[in-house]
Structure 1
Amino acid sequence: MQARKLSTGAVKLYWRYTFKGESDRVEIGLYDGKLPPKTLTPKDGRWTIAAAMDEASRLAQAHEDGKEQGGHAGLVKAKADAQAQAITNEAAAQALAQAEIDRRSKYTLAELLKAYWLNLEALGRSSHTDAKSILTNHAIAAFPDIACLPASEVTDEQIADMRRRLIEAGKERTANKLRAYMGAAYETARKAKTDPKIPVAFKGYEVKHNPAAETAANSESNKADKNPLSADEMRVYWNCIKDIGGIKGAALKLHLLTGGQRIEQLVRLKSADVTADTIAIYDGKGRPGKPARRHTLPLTAQAAEAIKLLDLSGEYAITTEVGDKIGTIHLVSSTLSRWAVDAVGDKITDFQAKRIRSGVETILAGKISKEMRGRLQSHGISGVQDRHYDGYDYLPELRTALEALDRELNSVKAGNVVAIKAA
């Protein structure tokens, strides 16, 4: 042990040692002669000789035991490194904890469902509006406690409870649509790690399984309820709209004369997709996560006349906007449906615009093959050959089908139809 008197008159005590030919000293503390000489513990940072000797012995023993680690200097460094690593580990743990908090608040069920319908919109899928409505009303708003959970932690039982609420309210079809949209959202997130076509943001949800798909489906509620118009009712409908002028007449006639295309797709017809003898619309139905399929249709003479009533100077061909805004916003599908109902009045019992599409199949049955009726209305097109190898556009065959539709609509049989009003 070593003592050194300072310029202030105080005495400072040290432990001095030599290791590998080099000497060093370690400060113990200030000597305090007022303390009882046999005191072995420091008081307020001051030491007795006995206490300092005891501390020097402890340091010497630690130095001897730690020579393989570099003696006293090595032990000091190891302790400092350990403390620094502990601080680093604590900071890392806090960062991870905060990241988990952020992840849980960011990648919730509500955010997954929003990301899903926005992705549908980006893909040009008309179903994004229906998806947004159903998911917002029957998942996010109806079950806020579940909606704020991390999407990866939501269970099949919780989703079943969402559907049960709708089923008990008699809305079984809506319950099935909720299951379908939630299932599609989860499937998009689940596949995001291996499908580079899915936006990378979906990876953040860390979805490993699809809880919506694990709930029981109710196929009975998915049965079609089209109630198609009969051939005679189709002729009545044509007689109701054929003399209507302006944008209203053009939209109604184009819808029917191109084969009863899905209204939500037809109203999005762009001026750039109209030629002298064809139009092209985009069908995204049944193509989850994929761009809409281009569906080109020939124009019969009557359909071409209807096109002439449209102003094609803007982006959209069917629009009610005027002036500088012409063509910037397409016609709303519900507006076209309402125009059809107004045109029919009481001439067809329980008329709805959705019955026109299936009515086209009815009036063409027996005259056009089932396959060609499917191609006309862009449904039933599946299989490897159709998807990948069949590049033929079928325009001549589709024109034949639409010309047959024209002939049937303009036949004289409609004069024999008498509307029967519901009792």
Structure 2
Amino acid sequence: MSLTDKAIRDAKPKESVYRLRDGNVVCRGFGVTVAPSGTKTFFLSYTSPEDGKRKQVSLGAFPAVSLRDARLKAAETRKSVDTGIDPVAAKRDGIARRMAQRELGTLGDLLDLYASDLEMDGKRTAKEVRRITTKDIPPALLARPAHLVTRDDILDVLTPIAQRGKLIHSDNVRAYLRAAFELGLHAPSMTRWRGRTKDFQITFNPVATVRKSVSRKPRGQRNLSPDEIRTLWQTTLLTRPMHLALLLILATGQRVEEVLEATWSEFDLDQKIWRIPGERRKNRNKTAEPHLVPLTYLHIALLQAIKAETGHSAFLFPSRTGEGPRRYDSLNHSVRRYIGASGLASFSPRDLRRTFKTVAGSFGLSLEIRNRLQGHGLSDVGSVHYDRYDYLTEKRAAMLVWTRSLRRLLKGRKL
């Protein structure tokens, strides 16, 4: 007989499982199982086209699944069997695929791998990669398997950044994402990562066809004029530690991070030398040699003022917790606030290094000696492979010319 809703509702549970089979010849093997608990479940029995064994697949519980819907599902399943598909095996394979999918590396895993790769090479950009991972990329996208990330997904990340007017930051995020996917593509063939990474199954780089927001980054052009230098030197609109950090950058011509992360152990005031270790230099991947910065009376006066102000035993410019040095962002924020309060034309802490280079040139110092004072890597064969002279004598003389001329420019104003 054909099953009816009433017959299924009236079926009483017994001590053991029993089945009510549907006499509807349209879909053979269809019926309902009645369990001792009273649960009634639709099923379809069939002979597997793969191994010839009798099998049974569940089609849902009554009454959550109606008899009509169960018959439709049974007809679809029977059609699959007739075309050579075993629904039990297909379900098992689907579960296996989903489990394997969960083991695939996500975009978050890929960016973590890229940041770790940068950290192994001592690259400071690793911190920025970790920062943009949490700030600029939606959690849902980070959780997606990396090989499923599309060009449109990348555009969905970059477009809001660019539309906020942050074109260069948008291009920076794009560059990090592109480099991360390139690493994911090649990690299996790299001795560093072979067998140590998740399976990303990346076959192409979805960032490769995404255009940049700007054709090229504008080159830094800003340097402070003599009047602006005098204004900055005597300002009271900055906190004392941040003011002293800016003055030390200008007075030494060194990089912002080299100044902010400096430790007192690097300074020998008796010998009037600041020895920046090779591992703290920007070109540390090309040389392990320290950079020797000669100090004059002006620098020593600044250092004494810094010591009196911050009083930290290890760092010249400690963080608020005292557990490490100040970060570049904190100085950048201070400068931004200072510009708003002073009305001075916009500049960044890095522009003070360019100011040193420019103004020292106007004082008659050659480009070569300015480059050596600032620790620029010289790329000619002689400098790279043969010249091991430290030029300290020449640098001392040049730094003295610089500080004396700077003092004249400041018209004798005190620190």
Q: In 2, Cα distance between the equivalents of 1:257 and 1:203? A: 49
Identify the residue that residue 178 of structure 1 maps to in structure 2: 173
1:409 aligned residue (398, 402, 406): 406
How do 1:12-411 and structure 2 match up within 5 A? 97=97, 100-104=100-104, 107-121=105-119, 123-141=121-139, 144=140, 146-197=141-192, 201-202=196-197, 204-207=199-202, 209-220=204-215, 222-240=217-235, 247=241, 250-262=244-256, 264-276=257-269, 277-280=273-276, 282=279, 296-301=291-296, 302-308=298-304, 309-310=306-307, 314-319=313-318, 328-337=323-332, 346=342, 348-350=344-346, 352-366=348-362, 367-379=364-376, 381-382=378-379, 391-411=388-408
Offset at residue 140 of structure 1 (A): 3.3
Q: Is the 8 A contact 1:257 1:406 kept in 2?
A: yes
Q: Is the 8 A contact 2:294 2:395 kept in 1?
A: no
Offset at residue 184 of structure 1 (A): 2.5
SS at structure 2 position matched to 1:205: coil
Q: In 2, Cα distance between the equivalents of 1:155 and 1:275? A: 55
User: CA offsets per residue over residues 249-274 of structure 1, 9 Å max, x none?
Assistant: 65343322220422x34222234433
**Larger displacement relative to structure 2 (252-261 or 303-312):** 303-312
Q: Is the 8 A contact 1:283 1:292 kept in 2?
A: no
What is the count of residue pairs matched by the alignment? 313
Structure 1 residues without counterparts, runs of 5 or longer: 1-88, 416-423
Q: In 2, Cα distance between the equivalents of 1:292 and 1:151? A: 36
Corresponding letter in the other structure for 2:349: A
- The share of aligned pairs that are identical, in percent, is 23
Offset at residue 176 of structure 1 (A): 0.6
Corresponding letter in the other structure for 2:173: L
Q: In 2, Cα distance between the equivalents of 1:386 and 1:162? A: 44
Cα distance, 1:331–1:98 mapped onto 2, change above 3 Å: same
SS at structure 1 position matched to 2:325: coil
Offset at residue 286 of structure 1 (A): 8.1
Cα distance, 1:271–1:251 mapped onto 2, change above 3 Å: same
Q: Is the 8 A contact 2:365 2:398 kept in 1?
A: yes
Q: Is the 8 A contact 2:158 2:173 kept in 1?
A: yes
User: CA offsets per residue over residues 58-113 of structure 1, 9 Å max, x none?
Assistant: xxxxxxxxxxxxxxxxxxxxxxxxxxxxxxx99x9799746622322xx1112211
TM-score (norm 1): 0.58
User: CA offsets per residue over residues 315-362 of structure 1, 9 Å max, x none?
Assistant: 4343256xxx75x32123344445667788638444543432221122
Cα distance, 1:337–1:154 mapped onto 2, change above 3 Å: closer
SS at structure 2 position matched to 1:152: helix
Q: In 1, Cα distance between the equivalents of 2:383 and 2:213? A: 30
Cα distance, 1:397–1:177 mapped onto 2, change above 3 Å: farther
Offset at residue 385 of structure 1 (A): 6.4
Cα distance, 1:186–1:295 mapped onto 2, change above 3 Å: farther
Offset at residue 233 of structure 1 (A): 2.5
Q: Is the 8 A contact 1:376 1:398 kept in 2?
A: yes
TM-score (norm 2): 0.59
Q: In 2, Cα distance between the equivalents of 1:216 and 1:329? A: 39
Q: Is the 8 A contact 2:255 2:350 kept in 1?
A: no
**Larger displacement relative to structure 2 (273-282 or 378-387):** 378-387
Q: In 1, Cα distance between the equivalents of 2:144 and 2:366? A: 51
Q: In 2, Cα distance between the equivalents of 1:97 and 1:246? A: 61
SS at structure 2 position matched to 1:212: coil
Offset at residue 298 of structure 1 (A): 1.3
Q: In 2, Cα distance between the equivalents of 1:275 and 1:200? A: 47
Cα distance, 1:165–1:343 mapped onto 2, change above 3 Å: closer
Identify the residue that residue 31 of structure 2 maps to in structure 1: none
SS at structure 1 position matched to 2:133: helix
Q: In 2, Cα distance between the equivalents of 1:334 and 1:125? A: 17
Cα distance, 1:98–1:320 mapped onto 2, change above 3 Å: closer
Offset at residue 148 of structure 1 (A): 2.7
Q: In 2, Cα distance between the equivalents of 1:292 and 1:192? A: 26
Higher relative contact order (CA 8 A, sep 6+): 1
Offset at residue 223 of structure 1 (A): 0.8
SS at structure 2 position matched to 1:365: helix
Corresponding letter in the other structure for 2:276: A
Q: In 2, Cα distance between the equivalents of 1:387 and 1:208? A: 39
Structure 2 residues without counterparts, runs of 5 or longer: 1-88
Q: In 2, Cα distance between the equivalents of 1:404 and 1:99? A: 70
Cα distance, 1:156–1:331 mapped onto 2, change above 3 Å: same
Q: In 1, Cα distance between the equivalents of 2:367 and 2:118? A: 30
Q: Is the 8 A contact 1:285 1:292 kept in 2?
A: no
Q: In 2, Cα distance between the equivalents of 1:139 and 1:121? A: 21
Cα distance, 1:167–1:246 mapped onto 2, change above 3 Å: closer
Cα distance, 1:155–1:374 mapped onto 2, change above 3 Å: farther
Q: Is the 8 A contact 2:103 2:198 kept in 1?
A: no
User: CA offsets per residue over residues 25-72 of structure 1, 9 Å max, x none?
Assistant: xxxxxxxxxxxxxxxxxxxxxxxxxxxxxxxxxxxxxxxxxxxxxxxx
Q: In 2, Cα distance between the equivalents of 1:185 and 1:351? A: 32
Q: In 2, Cα distance between the equivalents of 1:359 and 1:331? A: 22
Q: In 2, Cα distance between the equivalents of 1:260 and 1:205? A: 42
